[in-house]
Structure 1
Amino acid sequence: MMKMATTKKKKEGSKGHQGLVDFVFSWSISDVMNEKLYTDKVKQIPETFLSTTHYMQSFIYPLIEETHADLLSNMKTLSGARVCEVFDVKISKDYKPPKELYYEISLKQMGENEKREGSYEPQFGDLIALTDVRPKCIFDLNRPKRPYLLALIQGMKDEGSFGLPILSSKAIEFEKQDNEKGKKGDKLFAVYLTNLTTNIGIWKALNPDPEASNMKIIRSVLQVDPSVGGNCTLCSNEKTTGASELYSSAAIRNFGLNKSQETAVLNCIATKDCHHQNMVKLIWGPPGTGKTKTVASLLFALLQMKCRTLTCAPTNVAVLGVTNRLMTLVRPTSECDTYGLGDIVLYGNGERMKIDDYEDLFDVFLDYRISVLSYCLAPLSGWKGSTKSMIQLLEDPKNQYQLYLNKEKEKGENDDDDDEHDSDEEGERKEGLFISMNASGSQAKVHKIENQGLKNSKQKFLKKVIDQTVKENKKKKPKDKAASQKFKHHKEEDNAACSKKNKMEKGNRVETCLTFDEFFLKELNSIGKRLIFCITSLYTHMPTSFIQKEVAKDMIRVCNMLQALGTLVRNVAATNDGLRDVLFGTQTAERRIRHFNELRVTRMECLVKLQHLQERIFLPNLTENYEIRSFCLKSACLIFCTVSSSSKLHTEGMEPLELLVIDEAAQLRECESTIPLQLPGLRHAILVGDEKQLPAMVQSKICEKAGFGRSLFERLLMFGHPKHLLNVQYRMHPSISLFPNTVFYGKKIMDGPNVKSVTYNKRFLEGSMFGSYSFIDINNGNEQIDNRCSTKNLLEVYVIAEIVSNLHKQSLVSKQKVRVGCISPYKAQVFAIQEKLGNTYSTDRDSDFSVNVRSVDGFQGGEEDVIIISTVRCNGNGSIGFLSNHQRTNVVLTRARHCLWILGNSATLVNSGSVWKKLVLDAKSRGCFYNAKDDKNLVQAISSALIELGQSDNLLNTDSVLFKTARGKVCLSDEFSKSYARIDPTGDDLVSKLAAINLKDEPSTSTRNYGN
């Protein structure tokens, strides 16, 4: 499969127009470092467009400049770039100079120390620099011996191939080390620069094949007409509600949607049947309004209606979130176990998705499905072979046993030297399955199941197969003397049936064949487990168009029968009551064997049902993984993937999709939306998002100014495009939601009944300062710039550490589960908080006390019980940089459920004249403004922090937190301070002593003067 994908990727640069990779390869180091390289090329992106060509071309140079800016940014931090050493370079069979310089590189195996330090494993789409030194700066890439050389990773290592396929910007000169000839060889390193996968996907979408591309929806949004987003008048006139729509309406009403959510879902469902125009619907979901729940309910309805729908999102996290929510709706409503999940496909890279953390999604994850179906569709070990073997065993066990004896005899005669293969392995070879494990049991290989990029999940699957096919029940020993005699009698009969009392000499070892009972039990167990695995896998992973519901019900019944039959057979065999007599139909058996009728009936019913299923189940003849992949995608009703991954769905023969749903659409650059919008057959799109939260990230200042970060969602709203507002929020305590609702949403959002409940008002710390909402003023701080030009405020770091520590102590006392989130807009502050907290607290959200520290971008879509915000900025001129951004402010203020505590320098924020000024004044007017000096624990934390940070001179001022909070006060004259400074230059020793005096809970309020 990967080999095919690689071939397609290699054609990227061979189109008539210049490809994005060609631009990148053409840049010299001076070009990369030139921040103004495309200043005159990047134009302001229009709000309306004259044609589809005008639309696409408007994004071309902004995309090139954004790629250039991203590369420049990574070049500036080259000393910290990930590096791996190249062991060998060989010319690929596709090598066609001067443009198509394809090679295969193999990487040097790393030692344990290198692995521990963190190694670089190149991924598909990575742009790398090839150099003969480990670069410390950008100019190391342009050494005279090896000039500036770039390469693009074209795919992952194929089975049986030499190494990683790459496309190089220039011819590579490399001489491999040869110890025999005494050649030292060349040194070559691959240095990670950036990943171009997404941008190449956008480039292809902006340069479509005019004959193959679907421009219907894109044409509808060139000139924005508000009426296009409304309901179709022609459909309204001829509308008759169908049975499927009525069923879907009834189904979603069971999900507890509020009026605004239900209206949005039903309106979007009605859109699917419109063939008069191509519409784009907008669902506006402010924080906490149940946006994901609404989308999942919509998708559930579309699944019931068998409407082929693609659901995309900008990130893997968002895709997993909406898929997981849909599954919580689908599983409880399923009448037949996991039947129907074959209509749902989650598509993407398992490692990047971290799919192992989402075990509930394995049944819809495409790579896992391919592995399972490749096993089930195998002619011998899969459904067909296992069904045939079980029917033969149940229909004529005597004949099957005789075949076994003949095989053992033949093996004894012709294979005397082979004493390593026991009967289990021989039986499995007969069924076409061989599983081998290493000594530790940590690796497993199954015939025709290739590595799909899964790690733990793949191992779990293989373990499941092993458990289903190999594990053998322990043999039951006779319990009493009579049973022992009966057992001995049957064994003597079987031994007689096998030549020379069933004993075959193998060297110095004597091996005895299985008795009939042993053989039947083993075969029933082995084949039964394989068959049950295949049955459950097929009704789970095959689309409902191939397996009808009634057939699935019969499949479940057969599984139950096989399990019941196994239990009955084991019970009869364990008591040695004559299993042979039951299966061979001896007339006297009925009178003397318990469970005779039950076993006979179960066996016959199972046999009939299996034969019936054999006639009713028609599986596709697929042997290769890429064929199964295509089959799954073509047959699915709902497909989930990232927007960039949707480019891989533009394949020949792909069944048309009807609807596109883009979640978090406001975080998506408009040009990126063009990837899924052009999918074959697509008629309508539903965009879900909130333009008042974080937009897409744009690296280039030139592109940002040109409007490159604007989403299609935002542009449509600019022209009054209709939207369905979700107007009830269920996350924030009303005191938390009040400010963002007023400032950002014009008081259009209502608080849900759950957040208005008295029980929602939770207290995690004592004191009014730590109520549901508060601004805590910290005016002693000092903002600093780190080596990456990011800002931090270490005093706020210490205060956060103190608050978190107190929360943890209180949580242990109260045994109350608490989830804490610490947010800052600045990466330097995030790192500083993480470093201060260390590994003291769990980050696992399921633990009794968890703390997660992230940037604003990292918390988009997230929520916690308690949120602590560090605003960082502390200066005299009110400069707060991008902190003033309304969208970032909105996100940071809407993550908390029960408590939101904002730390900052009020003077700086008020002087900024930004939205933060409004917030500080609002907190004061509501009585939610507090000074850190009002809390004794925070005073101690601040004092300790100033001493540790070498800022103890701030504590010697009479207006410092140390003096303002003292009960009895010590004042120092200027002369005394100067004199003591000669003894204690840092002043730390004196401050520590004064702090000890001032922080004592003394009744005295007098002032002590020293040095006058």
Structure 2
Amino acid sequence: MEAEQGESSHNNNALYVGENLAKIVLSWSLEDILHEHKVNAIPHSFSSLGDYLSSFVYPLVEETKSEICSKIESLSTAPFAKIITLCSSERFIQPRYEIVFGKWKGSLKKHTKVSHQAKLGDLFVFKQTKPDRNSSVRRLGRSWCFGYATKILKHDFNERLIYTPHFEVSSSIKLEAALDVSKPFYAIFIMNLTTNNRIWNALHTCPSDHVIRELLSINPMVQEDCKNCPAMKETLEEKLSLTSYLNKSQCEAVVQCICNSVCDHKPSLELIWASPGTGKTRTLGVLLCSLLRVNCRTLVCAPTNVAILEVASRVMQLGKESAKTLDENGNPLCSFGDILVYGNTNRTAYEAGDLYLDYRVKRLTKCFSPHFGWKHWFTTMTEFLENCVSEYASEADKCVDNRTSFLQYVKDRFIPMSDSLRNCILTIGTHLSKAYISEKDIKDLILLEASLQSLETFLFEANPVGKELKAAFLLEEGVKSSPQDDINMPEFFHIKSECIQHLRNLLHSLDRLSLITVNEKFCFKMASLIFCTASSSYELCKFGIDPIKLLVIDEASQVKECESLIPLQVCGVKHVVLLGDECQLPAFVSSKVSAKAGFGKSLFERLSMLGYHRHLLDTQYRMHPNISSFPIAKFYQNRIIDSQIVKSDTYNKCYLPGPLYGNYSFMNISCGREVLSDRHNWKNMVEVAVVLKILQLLYKGVCMFGHLAFMSFLFSLKNP
């Protein structure tokens, strides 16, 4: 239902001045949620910072209402939990409670078998009964109220030794007035309001002297390089070795962004227009690696954690490709302490998982433990290699009845020490910034790793007898092996001596690391390239990180402009790079009135509409020319060319006969009908049946082709 465009329309921001979005949501009745108000269209240009920020407020309110309404409509499939304990807090005007939830049941998280877990920012409906298949917004009745998780108070172990968080929850009204709290009642999860809250706060706390003000007064006809900075475009491309990775248009975009990043005099904004297949991820990866080399502190944001980790993985891959140091297996050992990924991610699912904040803190904390950290293992191994013979004799004297052979004694002690030492080597070499560890240190770590491997080979493959091994440990330099020796004692002594020397060198050069206190703040301070979603960047201020100079937003055309304001307000941001393509899908908007007002429009799209200059990546490497010709003509004004790769013969091969298996096919499924599934998803079963039939034909054709190819191969063997 829409209000008339008059008194009910949101035409000013006075109603919500000083309010908190969560507090506003808790004040809504069911009628408020179901009732839509028209909102004014968001303009393309603005006269003041205040007009700019306020233009997003009411579309955000209506979008929040629409999202809540959509979730309430499907209560029957929502996760729910029984309230285990409830304790009222009298310290606040609005009703607040300390609540412990029971096990969450119902819907599982996407792509996992893990049930829902309550977290900060969750919005609930409290009801006396569990949701069932008849639960819907129309059946809520009066015996319900909203709850909002405002704080995690503490964690306890329940009877099954599972961590159970205690939440502070604000409610729309007193629970005692809406429900009989003496009887069982339930919390039904609606949605998480964290991102909406962060956008709201960004709209109400934007500093007046921020780079955002510069974005409002952009003149697309006046874009000049800073006259106070020396011209460096001519030499930068060669200096950073970009030509081996990028084509001309990609190089030009990267060079301009890096030139801007070194300027301290004026803010800058660069748009990189990247259509599908034009090498956007590679361009971004090279740009970020180059920014690392010029020591520009950079924040990289994207709409989702998946997009963030894709870019981080590419940066990691490029770092390994350019690594100058390799371990004994030929694998690059690179310092990635300058790169940090922050946010809710599945660390083990991606190559870039080692860059994840929580994992890094865990690894470094263990490595820098004062009792069993790197210094302990370096010292212990040094003492063992120097004194193992005398230590063995001392222990043998104490335990006459249960003597272990010297060889077994060495093996039993060397392996656990070596494993712990190698973990420390890997942690120091990978997780510390280059500001804390030099290239020489990395080379010494690799040499130490090789020495440990050689010693292990002698112990387990040569398998010497105890007498010979003792002699090898005690051997003085320059002594030759006798012919009857089973092992080459001088070589063993040389490797052992080298290992001890590397240990001593590193103990000395890395001694300054003993002063490090490992925590999240330390990891952020180390990093000069930080990855997180646009929404998660809101939390960076709580770590007290050093100022960020450059902000890069990937997939910028899929980030609502008001959400872009969150990373734009991170401390110190002076330069901005947006990568996107407004011809692709925009950000999803649930509310029809907000969508009509332009709430889903991105900053990238708005600036493009104003005529702001964009660096077009003009060569596509993905689609056959027969496929690319239409989008290039329709959406990109024929400004994109096909690379030689897609014009080669390999792109013209069609192994299966028939028009269905050409470069592309259009199929008109006119007899299908879309129906709602699970109350909120649409499906067309006729289209599903057609797709299934195509897959069956494809499988049959591939199998037939494979059989014919195999028979042809056998025939060629018989008739060479």
For the aligned pair, the TM-score class normalised by the smaller chain equals: 0.7 to 0.9
Q: Which residue pairs with 1:232 in the alignment?
A: 225
Partner of 1:814: 705
| Equivalent residue letter for 1:168 | S
What is the correspondence of 1:635-674 to structure 2 with a 5 Å cutoff?
635-651=526-542, 653-674=544-565
2:243 is aligned, of 253, 261, 266, to 253
Residue 507 of structure 2 corresponds to which residue in structure 1?
A: 614
**Inter-CA distance 185–815: structure 2 relative to 1 (3 Å threshold):** farther
Is 1:518 the counterpart of 2:507 in the alignment? no
The aligned runs of 1:505-654 (5 Å cut-off) are: 512=402, 514-570=404-460, 574-585=464-475, 591=482, 593=485, 594-617=487-510, 618-619=512-513, 621=515, 627-651=518-542, 653-654=544-545
Q: Report SS of the residue matched to 2:249.
A: helix
Amino acid in structure 2 at the alignment position of 1:125? G
- How many angstroms apart in 2 are the aligned matches of 1:342 and 1:242? 31
Match of 2:94 among 90, 94, 99: 99
Equivalent position of 2:192 in the other structure:
195
| Matches for 1:853-932 after TM superposition, within 5 Å | none
8 Å CA contact 1:124, 1:156 repeated in 2: no
Q: Is the aligned partner of 1:380 residue 2:280?
A: no
Determine the C-alpha separation between the residues in 2 that align with 1:540 and 1:102: 45
Give 2:122's aligned residue.
126
Contact 2:472 2:489 in 1 (8 A): yes
2:213 equivalent to 1:219:
yes
Structure 1 gap ranges (5+): 1-14, 178-183, 406-493, 504-511, 817-1012
Q: Which among 348, 356, 362 is matched to residue 365 of structure 1?
A: 356
Alignment of 1:161-180 (within 5 A): 163-169=165-171, 170-173=173-176
Structure 1 window deviating more from structure 2 (120-129 vs 567-576): it is 567-576
Note the C-alpha offset of 1:117: 9.7
Task: Please identify the structure whose Cα radius of gyration is greater.
Answer: 1
Change (3 A) 1:527 1:585: same
Q: Give 1:206's aligned amino acid.
A: L
Q: Distance in 2 between matches of 1:34 and 1:402?
A: 86
- Per-residue CA deviations over 1:674-699 (Å, capped at 9, x if unaligned) read 11111112110000001111111111
Aligned match of 2:336:
341
Match of 2:312 in 1: 323
Q: Across the two proteins, how many residue pairs are aligned to each other?
A: 670
1:726 equivalenced with 2:718 (yes/no) = no
CA deviation map 1:777-801 (0-9, x unaligned): 455x143443648765544433322
1:356 aligns with 2:348: yes
Work out the CA distance in 2 between the residues paired with 1:104 and 1:589.
Answer: 76
Pick aligned residue for 2:54 from 34, 39, 57: 57
Please say if residues 84 and 99 of structure 2, whose CA atoms lie closer than 8 Å, have aligned partners that are also in contact.
Answer: no
Shift of 1:262: 1.4
In structure 2, the partner of 1:739 is 630
CA distance 1:100–1:720, change in 2 (3 Å): same
Given that residues 401 and 516 in structure 1 are in contact (C-alpha distance below 8 angstroms), is that contact kept between their aligned partners in structure 2?
yes
Gaps of 5+ in 2: 1-15, 158-162, 326-331, 708-720
**Do the aligned partners of residues 296 and 156 (structure 1) sit closer, same or farther apart at CA in structure 2, a change above 3 Å counting?**
farther
2:244 is aligned with what amino acid?
N
Q: Say which SS state the counterpart of residue 323 (structure 1) adopts.
A: helix
Output the CA distance in 2 between the equivalents of 1:586 and 1:554. Answer: 24
In structure 2, C-alpha distance between the alignment counterparts of 1:114 and 1:619, rounded to whole Å = 41
Distance change >3 Å, CA 786–CA 99, structure 1 → 2:
closer
Q: Distance in 2 between matches of 1:114 and 1:194?
A: 13
Q: For residue 716 of structure 1, report the CA deviation from its aligned partner.
A: 0.8
Letter in 1 for 2:117: E
CA contact (8 A) 1:32 1:68 kept: yes
Residues 1:693 and 1:672: Cα distance change in structure 2 (over 3 Å): same
Correspondent of 1:66 among 63, 68, 87: 63
Change in Cα spacing, 1:647 to 1:187, as seen in structure 2 (3 Å) is same
Deviations 1:351-381 (A, max 9, x none): xxx33321x2222222222221121111222
Deviates more, 1:654-663 or 1:109-118: 109-118
Tell me by how many angstroms 1:283 deviates.
0.4
* Aligned amino acid, residue 165 of structure 2: G
Cα gap change, 1:118 to 1:131, in 2 (>3 Å): farther
Q: Which residue in the other structure is 2:606 paired with? A: 715
Which residue of the partner structure matches residue 760 of structure 1? Answer: 651
- Please give the alpha-carbon distance, in whole angstroms, between the structure 1 residues aligned to 2:44 and 2:104: 52
| Residue pair 2:480, 2:490 contacting (<8 A) in 1 also | no
Identity of aligned residues (%): 36
Where 2:85 maps in the other structure, the secondary structure is strand
The residue type equivalent to 1:277 in the other structure is K
Q: 1:129 to 1:778 in 2, by over 3 A?
A: closer
1:746–1:209: structure 2 CA closer, same or farther, 3 Å change rule? closer
Q: Closer, same or farther in 2 for the Cα pair 1:110/1:279, shift >3 Å?
A: closer
CA distance in 2, matches of 1:81, 1:157: 26
Contact conserved, 2:226 with 2:266, CA < 8 A, in 1? no
Cα distance in 2 for partners of 1:347, 1:33 equals 36
**Where does residue 460 of structure 1 map in the other structure?**
none
Assess if the C-alpha contact under 8 Å between 1:205 and 1:674 holds in 2: yes
How many angstroms apart in 2 are the aligned matches of 1:143 and 1:302? 58
3-state SS of paired residue (1:698)? coil
Contact 2:152–2:165 (CA under 8 A) maintained in structure 1: no
Higher RCO (C-alpha under 8 Å, 6+ residues apart): 2
Q: Distance in 2 between matches of 1:284 and 1:695?
A: 14
Cα distance in 1 for residues equivalent to 2:559 and 2:674: 32
Distance 1:113 1:72 in 2: 21
Matched, 1:137 2:109: no
Change (3 A) 1:603 1:699: same
Distance 1:205 1:764, change over 3 A: farther
- Tell me if structure 1 keeps the 8 A contact 2:80–2:106: no
Tell me the SS of whatever aligns to 1:580.
helix
CA contact (8 A) 2:302 2:534 kept: yes
Which residue in 1 is equivalent to 2:715? none
> Which residue among 670, 673, 682 is the counterpart of 1:783?
673
Distance 2:443 2:198 in 1: 43
Distance in 1 separating the partners of 2:442 and 2:34: 62
CA distance change for structure 1 residues 111 and 776 in 2, over 3 Å: closer, same or farther?
closer
Query: Structure 1 residue 269: deviation in Å?
Result: 1.4
* CA separation of 1:396 and 1:46: change in aligned 2, threshold 3 A: same
1:498 equivalenced with 2:490 (yes/no)? no
Structure 2 partner of 1:23: 24
Distance, in Å, in 2 between the alignment partners of 1:242 and 1:756 is 32
Q: Deviations over 1:727-774 (max 9, x none)?
A: 111111111112222222221221111111122023254223442233
